[in-house]
Amino acid sequence: MKNTLLQPEGWVTPKGYANGVAARGTMVFTGGQIGWNAQQQFESDDFIAQTKQTLLNVRAVLEAGGAGPEHLVRLTWYVTDRNEYNSRLKELGAVYREVLGKNFPAMACVQVAGLMEERAKIEIEATAVIPP
């Protein structure tokens, strides 16, 4: 069974995410991933660079669980500056597609006052489901 995107009748189709996803199989959950490398060191304070590294980290954890971007059913993004997020959507979309491809799960994005790692500008949690 392939994951099924849920689109209520009459709703405008969202861009870059799904309203919902129905899935069956082995569930893989990531902890909150941030924009540092495997040695827990930040290489940049740029929002887009941190987002790319965060997405690479999400992908690496998924792969460790036997999943890939095509198995994503949910992403929750926590950003420290929604204005930067919104003003850089074109760059953000390009980095997203580069790392995760054209896989657009259900998604929430929340602005937070800060993250536990002071230099972090973004944190992402992911849920994937590997079909039986």
What amino acid positions are annotated as catalytic residues?
Answer: 109
Q: Which residues partner with 79 through β-bridges?
A: 111, 122
Give dist(CA 44, CA 107) in Å, integer. Answer: 25
Helix (H) or strand (E) holding 22: strand 20-22
Nearest to 84 by CA among 51, 55, 106: 51
Q: Measuring CA to CA, which residue among 89, 87, 79 is closest to residue 114?
A: 79
